[in-house]
Amino acid sequence: MGNSWLQFNKLNLSPRKQRALLLRFGSPAEVLRAPQSDLLRVEGVTRENVDAIREVAAKTDWNNELSLMEKLGIRMVTWDDSSYPQQLKEIHDPPPLLFVRGELKSDEFRSVAIVGTRRASTYARIISERLAADLSRYGVTVVSGLALGVDTEAHRGALRAGGRTIAVCGCGLEANYPAANSKLREEIVTRGALLSELPFGTTPEKWHFPARNRIISGLSLGVVVVEAPDASGALITADCALEQGREVFAVPGNVTLNNNRGGHRLLKEGATLVEDANDILRALGLEEEQTSLNFGEEKEPQEAANLSPNETAVLRGLGREEKHVDDITRAVKLTPAEVNASLMMLEMKGYARRLPGNMFMRVR
């Protein structure tokens, strides 16, 4: 691909200016060689932009950066590349260049974004994971932003169900951000992709994320807001979805909590209410294409070969609602020690989640 795309991306121009320059000159290399007078004839291009182009064009040695990108498994995908996502290409301001780790598919049409607050409640975390897992079982790719809270649970839910997930980052892909998700990042690379439009070496800054959100919605048929206060970035993603002609969904929550005000506002404005994955699939017309799961029809625990007899019994005793460990013990007729040991293993294997107050809930 050469250095010219990397140089062009370093200009930090808006996608609209990038597009205008590429349409006028045909390639990044021609943009970098263009005379000042020709550059200034392009709508929106300023003298400051021209100075930046001249400065970047003057630097010729990009080999160190390209070598480091190769070492980290980061590659560049342009909008005329065969693996550039077709749905993203259709928005009015697609990024001309994406930095990618993992596998990106141009024909990945069955994609849904799940987003929400970083300060997610236990309820929101469970719903995010469950929706992602159930959508994945229908062959839907889950898209999110790798932030803590709702985004994290959405990615985890897709991976635990054996599905694909895409994380759109608001920084350069070499940045370990957020640090708490370093292991999750590597898991996503093996069964999906990390991507960013931001140049290598870009640190995470709050003003990067609103622009990032248009990519999350642009990759998706619809955006699901699980839990979001009025000022949440998830609402920016929902606004982007509306501008791009995508569907917007919201999960209802406790009306007394501020964390649900953003989602409830979306519902008042016409967003589709989501109680389960079937609501999303129905609205997107994907029900007829289902391949592996009738929603609500759970696999019997004994089908999981990695569970012991005690773990299988305890899993059967769990429900989708919160249940105290004492109630589980009475239901399964095992000793408290056996129940606690089984619950610990079910947590480790991703079948159960511990909640405050010694409560547990089945998550798959």
What is the tens place of the pLDDT at every residue in 210-227? 899 999 999 999 999 999
The residues with which 250 forms a beta bridge, in sequence order, are 225, 273
> Quick one: fold of 301-362?
Arc Repressor Mutant, subunit A (1.10.10)
pTM here is 0.81
CB 327 within 8 A of CB 318: no
Q: Residue 2 has what pLDDT?
A: 60
Give percent of the chain with pLDDT exceeding 90.
Answer: 63
SS3 305: coil
**Residue ranges matching CATH 3.40.50.450 in the chain:** 111-289
Would you identify the CATH topology of the domain 1-60?
DNA polymerase; domain 1 (1.10.150)
**Using one digit for the tens of pLDDT, what is the confidence trace for 73-94?**
999 999 888 889 999 999 998 9
pLDDT of residue 9: 86
CATH of 111-289, one of 1.25.40.10, 3.30.479.10, 3.40.50.1110, 3.40.50.450: 3.40.50.450
pLDDT at residue 305, as a whole number: 58
Tokens of 260: 């649900």
Q: What is the pLDDT of residue 1?
A: 53
Cα gap 363→95, rounded to integer Å: 36
Q: What is the rounded average pLDDT of the residues 331-336?
A: 89
| Intervals of CATH 1.10.10.10 along the chain | 301-362
The more confident residue out of 178 and 295 is 178
Question: Between 106 and 316, where is the model more confident?
Answer: 316
What pLDDT sits at residue 361? 82
**pLDDT digits over 125-142, tens only?**
999 999 999 999 999 999
